[in-house]
Amino acid sequence: MKLMTPQELEAALRDIGARRYHRLHPFHTLLHGGECSKCQVQAWALNRYYYQAMIPIKDASLIARCDDQATRREWRSRLADHDGERDGEGGIARWLKLTDGLGLDRDYVTSLQGLLPATRFAVEAYVHFVAEKTLLEAVASSLTELFSPAIIGERIEGMLKNYDFVTAETMAYFSARPPQAKRDSEFALDYVKQNAKTPEQQALALKALAFKCDVLWVMLDALYYAYVSPGHISAGAFAPA
């Protein structure tokens, strides 16, 4: 292995996004193109809720392992973005406006009863990864946010155009995210470029981003398998009425 310059490392990270980010997943093609039924959109929002709900848990576990005050302070803004300042604010609350708008019962959503087991496994793999790997790997695993503004733009436009049950208000989560994702991913990218100082560390950072792409991808595989290909809904998981 050969040491890359920081610019080469960034290019390699962006190449992983270009090849493996879930923007390319066939479920998203259906979702954004108006080819999902309302039930399929509900299943997506319900399962993705668990990912949203666990984000502050994984971010706090990163802060808990970080002995640099400036990094902890910067990472803290992610907690504020997701948990907000009071009930009804923040990213998780905005996600629940989406599930509300889709006609899902809020207690049912937050109970997690309807989750696909694969969603649970994928999300928990991410949480454990961040809690257990090196800080560099934990930070690098967040870099899927480098690629999220583009997918969010496609999603807002596609879903508002194609589904009469989706409104700008229920999509509030997505309209708030791009500036947060931009700020967070720029910080994380700088961190990785500065702290991956050996070929081994650079390889671990790339592997961490690939792992995170896998997490997001597997969540959509599970949705596709359960709700697009017929007949595969796991016992106990959300099912169309």
Q: Binding of a copy of itself at residue 67 (CB under 8 A)?
A: yes
Report the chain's terminal Cα–Cα distance, integer Å: 54
Q: Binding of a copy of itself at residue 58 (CB under 8 A)?
A: yes
Cα diameter, the chain: 56
**Residue 228 burial (CB count, 10 A):** 18
Among 6, 12, 61, 129, the residue binding a copy of itself under the rule CB under 8 A is 61
Q: CB nearer to a copy of itself: give 35 or 186.
A: 186
Q: How far is the CB of 199 from a copy of itself (least distance, A)?
A: 29
Query: Which tokens go with 144?
Result: 């899927």
Q: How far is the CB of 58 from a copy of itself (least distance, A)?
A: 8
Query: Which tokens go with 24?
Result: 């390319």
Angle between helices 172-195 and 69-83 (to 10 degrees): 170
Q: Binding of a copy of itself at residue 204 (CB under 8 A)?
A: no
Q: Binding of a copy of itself at residue 25 (CB under 8 A)?
A: no
Q: Decide if 233 contacts 227 (C-beta within 8 A).
A: yes
Residue 149's nearest CA partner among 184, 101, 188 is 184
Among the listed ranges 38-46, 50-58, 179-187, 205-213, the one in contact with a copy of itself (CB under 8 A) is: 50-58
- Residues 109-138 within binding reach of a copy of itself (CB under 8 A): 131
Environment class of 28 (CB within 10 Å of its CB; exposed 0-12, middle 13-18, buried 19+): buried
- Residues 70-99 within binding reach of a copy of itself (CB under 8 A): 70, 72-73, 76, 79-80, 83-87, 90, 92
Local structure of 50: helix, strand or coil: helix
How many residues line the site for a copy of itself (CB under 8 A)? 26
Interaction site with a copy of itself (CB under 8 A): 53, 56-58, 60-61, 63-67, 69-70, 72-73, 76, 79-80, 83-87, 90, 92, 131
